[in-house]
């Protein structure tokens, strides 16, 4: 029986590449593993897969009776609905300890660093397994994406070290330029519907019994959103109602200016204001220096809703 390896509900580049890179390593170590994904591949990830000549992992949303490894998440709200009927053999992740539990002992490689693929790189080193050139290129892009080309406060020395080593293997000299190319692809939001944008990189969290969804769009210039703000707000309201959510937040992150325009639709906007010690105007506010959902948004919401 093959073991499936997959990331969170709405996959990002780290989730998709991590499923592929961890499967490669595990297969090399004698396990029979298959990469999978829970949702659609986003434009950035599609660009990365094509650039290095990989197929997207198979779409699979039900895992009852299966053996699985999780990559890049350990929250129930980001899991398949039947996760309790699967056997979780292991987790590779760089987030907070979530609310998933298991019935049996497992393997966990969790580090407070910028990207799951940095951990997978360290696993390759630990087991002394060579990384193929094209896979190294994809893993490099995953780390550049998660760390916003090292600008995110989540980025650590371990991430930059992994990038340098992966760039060497991939034969990519100017890897920051590759990162910028990738973010320019990511910045192309004009051909997408509001729903596609709000949910492109969206994660649900259970905070003290409240369902809170936080999306993020990282672009090289925030002005692309000028004419679509009203539509985004409209869709966030719908998404909030549809999912019975307490709040839907959307981070519009400017990777050049290093900051985030935060859009908020909430049953209790004053709680969001209090969490960040801010004042919303027409449901939005500029948060200077804020780049990371995981490190600069979620912990403050968690404290507020604890």
Site for a second copy in 145-164 (CB under 8 A): 154
Cα–Cα distance, 266 to 247 (Å, whole number): 4
Nearer to a second copy, 95 or 121 (CB): 95
Cα–Cα distance, 125 to 172 (Å, whole number): 20
Helix (H, G, I), strand (E, B) or coil at 204: strand
Pairing between β-strand 247-254 and β-strand 107-110 as defined by DSSP bridges: unpaired
Site string for a second copy, 168-207 (x = CB under 8 A): ----------------------------------------
Give the interface segment with a second copy, choosing from 18-26, 52-60, 101-109, 223-231 (CB under 8 A). Answer: 101-109
Among 33, 71, 86, 91, binds a second copy (CB under 8 A): 91
Per CB under 8 A, does 282 bind a second copy?
A: no
C-alpha distances in Å from residue 291, one per residue of 16, 86, 104: 21, 34, 37
Per CB under 8 A, does 31 bind a second copy?
A: no
Phi, psi of 292 (to 5 degrees): -115, 120
Number of residues that bind a second copy (CB under 8 A): 34
Cα–Cα distance, 198 to 202 (Å, whole number): 7
Give the interface segment with a second copy, choosing from 23-31, 102-110, 180-188, 254-262 (CB under 8 A). Answer: 102-110
Nearest to 232 by CA among 221, 242, 240, 244: 240
Nearer to a second copy, 92 or 250 (CB): 92
Contacts with a second copy, residue ranges (CB under 8 A): 74, 84, 88-89, 91, 94-113, 126, 154, 294-295, 298-299, 302-303, 306
């Amino acid at each position: 029986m093959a073991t499936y390896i997959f990331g969170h509900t709405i996959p990002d580049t780290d989730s998709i590449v991590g499923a592929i890179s961890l499967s490669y390593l595990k297969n090399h170590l004698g396990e029979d593993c298959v990469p999978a994904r829970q949702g659609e591949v986003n434009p950035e990830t599609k660009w990365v897969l094509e650039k290095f000549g990989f197929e997207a992992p198979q779409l699979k949303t039900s895992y009852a009776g299966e053996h699985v490894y999780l990559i890049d998440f350990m929250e129930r709200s980001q899991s398949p609905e039947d996760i309790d009927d699967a056997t979780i053999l292991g987790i590779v992740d760089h987030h907070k300890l979530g609310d998933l539990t298991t019935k049996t002992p497992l393997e966990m490689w969790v580090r407070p660093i910028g990207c799951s693929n940095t951990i997978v790189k360290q696993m390759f080193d630990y087991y002394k397994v060579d990384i193929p050139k094209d896979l190294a290129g994809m893993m490099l892009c995953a780390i550049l994406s998660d760390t916003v080309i090292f600008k995110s406060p989540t980025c650590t020395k371990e991430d930059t070290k992994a990038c340098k080593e992966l760039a060497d293997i991939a034969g990519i000299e100017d890897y920051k330029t590759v990162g910028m190319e990738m973010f320019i692809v990511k910045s192309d939001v004009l051909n997408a519907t509001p729903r596609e944008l709000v949910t492109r990189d969206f994660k649900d969290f259970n905070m003290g019994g409240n369902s809170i969804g936080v999306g993020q769009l990282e672009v090289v210039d925030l002005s692309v959103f000028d004419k679509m703000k009203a539509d985004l707000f409209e869709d966030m309201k719908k998404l909030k109602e549809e999912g019975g959510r307490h709040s839907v937040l959307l981070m519009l992150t400017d990777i050049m200016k290093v900051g985030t325009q935060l859009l908020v639709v909430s049953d209790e906007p004053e709680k969001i204001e209090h969490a960040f010690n801010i004042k919303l105007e027409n449901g939005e506010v500029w948060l200077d220096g804020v780049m990371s959902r995981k490190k600069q948004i979620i912990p403050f919401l968690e404290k507020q809703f604890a």
